[in-house]
Amino acid sequence: MNFIAIKMLLGDRAKYIGIVIGLTFASFLLTWPSALFTGVMKRTFSFVTDVGLPDIWVVDPQAQYIEDVKPLRDTEVLRVRGTEGVQWAVGLYKGMLRARMDDGTFQNCTVVGLDDATLIGGPPKMVAGELADLRQADSVIVDETGARGKLAKKQPDGRRVPLKIGDTLELNDHRCIVVGICRITQTFQNVPVLYTTYSRATTIAPQERKLLSFVIAKAKPGTDVSALCQRIGRLGLRAYTPYEFKKLTFWYFLKYTGMPINFLTVVTLGFIVGIAISGQTFYNFTLDNLRYFGTLKAMGTTNRKLLRMISLQAAEVGAIGYGLGVGAASAWGGFLSGRTQIAFSLPWPLLLVSASAVLVICIGAAAVSIRKVMKLEPAMVFRS
């Protein structure tokens, strides 16, 4: 019976292709915006992802997310360092400054100041130069995307030449020399990121009474990190594990920005399109084959076997449409990710969600068709 079901499905090539195309389009519309949403949300906490060494992030108690920097006193580093269970703790500066280019234009940049002694918190990968070169006078390291894009030098003929080691730029009227190019996870603001030492960053930045952005710390081996965060909290600060800090940032953007509803609208559209196109086409396919189902019923085929045949047909077109849709989304996302700054991330849980949505579409389409077949009287088929 399974063989007959497949032959019936493939017998009408036009409707078969139409169902597959409808499910492919629905799968693509479900997967593509979801992957973009996941990529955008991962960029909101990309800085925490890149700084992978610390176990604890210490911030002001009123900080709501990673970019909501409320400066601390420099002495907070010593207080955290003296907490029982802390192996080491260093300060970190993170702020937005304007860079002045050679042609007189300005570009906002994120400046990260690393601990002068250890340089902990530096970029995850160096493309050119060494992290230790930051100990040179007036030195900065620029992220690769910023060096090739917004910080590239504009030539008289209109061409843009990427920044390279030895080039200079100005930060708040301070001359800086590029000593390295790094590769980092793209940020949510999509602005260039510059790394330098903490003392240099706080010298360049507009002077304030407090300039320390974060204290990052490492717990001693065998120490309960959650308990250590609570002990640090008694100092009048707020301590998070990297996962907790990412979660805090994620939920802030989810709650206070319009991104979720915008992406959800597109995903819902894909779901509706899938039900409308695939359901209608599959239903028409069943109507065209009612005489065959009636013949099988007259020959003694039970409703249970007919149910299995229709379910098999729905499962086949669903699997093919889902595979084509996810494959197209993955291929297109991979192609653009290497050539543009598009935020695309396709983790395996997202694939399960897309598969579940396509499964619901197929079940809905099959349910309408099954109801028609179950109510079919064989005598009506032969009479016509």
One-character DSSP codes across 172-217: TTEEEEEEEEEE-PPPSS---EEEEEHHHHHHHSPP-S--B-EEEE
Cβ-contact 52, 74 below 8 angstroms: no
Tell me the two tokens of residue 105. Answer: 């234009």
Would you state the pLDDT for residue 187? 85
HSE-up (13 A, CA, CB side) for residue 299: 10
Q: Which residues pair with 132 in a beta bridge?
A: none
HSE-up (13 A, CA, CB side) for residue 373: 34
Would you state the pLDDT for residue 384? 53
What is the dihedral sign for C-alpha 334, 336, 338, 341?
negative
What are the angstrom distances between the C-alpha of 311 and each of 8, 13, 30, 251, 365?
A: 13, 19, 22, 40, 10
Would you state the pLDDT for residue 157? 76
Helix (H) or strand (E) holding 384: none
pTM of the model: 0.82
Would you state the pLDDT for residue 302? 75
Would you state the pLDDT for residue 383? 58
Cβ-contact 19, 278 below 8 angstroms: yes
How far is residue 186's CA from residue 43's CA, in Å, rounded to a whole number?
6
In degrees, rounded to 5, the angle at the alpha carbon of residue 59 between the alpha carbons of residues 58 and 60 is 140
How far is residue 325's CA from residue 129's CA, in Å, rounded to a whole number?
42
Tell me the two tokens of residue 185. Answer: 């996870």
Would you state the pLDDT for residue 2? 65
Pick from 356, 365, 354, 363: nearest CA to 329: 354
What is the dihedral sign for C-alpha 218, 223, 224, 230?
negative
How many CB atoms neighbour CB 324 within 10 A? 17
Would you state the pLDDT for residue 158? 72
Per-residue pLDDT tens over the stretch 117-176: 999 999 999 999 999 999 999 999 999 999 988 888 887 777 888 889 998 889 988 999
Cβ-contact 278, 16 below 8 angstroms: no
How far is residue 343's CA from residue 345's CA, in Å, rounded to a whole number?
7
Would you state the pLDDT for residue 261? 80
| Per-residue pLDDT tens listing for the chain (384 residues) | 667 767 777 777 777 887 888 888 888 888 888 888 888 888 889 999 999 889 999 999 999 999 999 999 999 999 999 999 999 999 999 999 999 877 778 889 999 999 999 999 999 999 999 999 999 999 999 999 999 888 888 877 778 888 899 988 899 889 999 999 999 988 888 899 999 999 999 999 988 889 999 999 999 999 999 999 999 999 999 999 999 999 999 999 888 887 778 888 877 877 777 677 777 777 777 777 777 777 777 777 777 787 788 788 888 888 898 999 999 999 988 888 767 778 888 888 888 988 888 888 787 777 777 776 776 666 555 555
Q: Write the CB contacts of 59 (distance below 8 Å, at least 6 apart in sequence).
A: 70, 72, 214, 215, 237, 238, 239, 240, 245
Would you state the pLDDT for residue 10? 73
What is the dihedral sign for C-alpha 179, 185, 186, 187?
negative
How far is residue 238's CA from residue 322's CA, in Å, rounded to a whole number?
45
Q: Write the CB contacts of 138 (distance below 8 Å, at least 6 apart in sequence).
A: 174, 175, 176, 177, 200
